Structure formats: C-alpha cells, structure tokens
Amino acid sequence: MYTGGARRAIEARIERHLSKVEKFHWHIDYLLGADGVCVRKVFRHAEDECTVNQQVHGSVLTKGFGASDCRSGCVSHLKKIGADDRHLFFLHSGLK
C-alpha cells in the first residue's frame, strides 16, 4: 500500500498516478512504470498522509520510499499489507 498526499489538486494527482507518465518525478512513478504493476483501489482520506500511513499495519518494502520529505518519522510510505505483491493500493490524503 502506498500512501501519498497533495495539498491541492488532489484529483489531478490521483489521475496522474492512474495514467502512464513519461517523466518520472516521484518514487511512485518509477514503481508504477514497472511491468505488471497496477493500482487496484484508491482510498481518500482527510487526514494527512503520514497520519494515515502510520495507521497502516504492514511491512516496509523499501526504506524511504515516498518519504523523502516526510517530517513525521515514517520509515516508508510503501508497505506490504498482504501476500500478493501484485496489488498496489493507494491511500491519498488532502481532501477536506
């Protein structure tokens, strides 16, 4: 499960993640650009991304993933939450 956030234009950010991008900017762009990776479901939350991320119980796949600008001590914003690695879920904060 990946937890991301956007202070504004949340729908545009989610739409970007759901489409194939050519210029990779965030860690998640590289993951989504890999063969066989797809988004299964998007969950929207009003809380900030770190609060939501810290409530997700799972194992860290890659330290620092999606957390370059994290100030809340998250080890990673990408966690494995099930046995099937092919499923990627998004938690997206920023909605009010």
Contacting residues toward Zn ion, per CB under 5 A: 50, 70, 72, 74
61, 76 Cβ separation under 8 angstroms: yes
CB of 22 to Zn ion, least distance (A): 27
Residues ≥6 apart with Cβ < 8 Å to 60: 75, 76, 78, 79, 80
Q: Which is nearer to Zn ion, 5 or 35 (CB)?
A: 5
* Cross-strand partners of 87: 38
- Whose CB is nearest to Zn ion? 74
User: With respect to Zn ion, which residue has the nearer C-beta, 23 or 73?
Assistant: 73
Beta carbons within 10 angstroms of residue 16's beta carbon: 17
| Nearest-approach distance from CB 16 to Zn ion, in angstroms | 20
CB of 20: closest distance to Zn ion in angstroms? Answer: 26
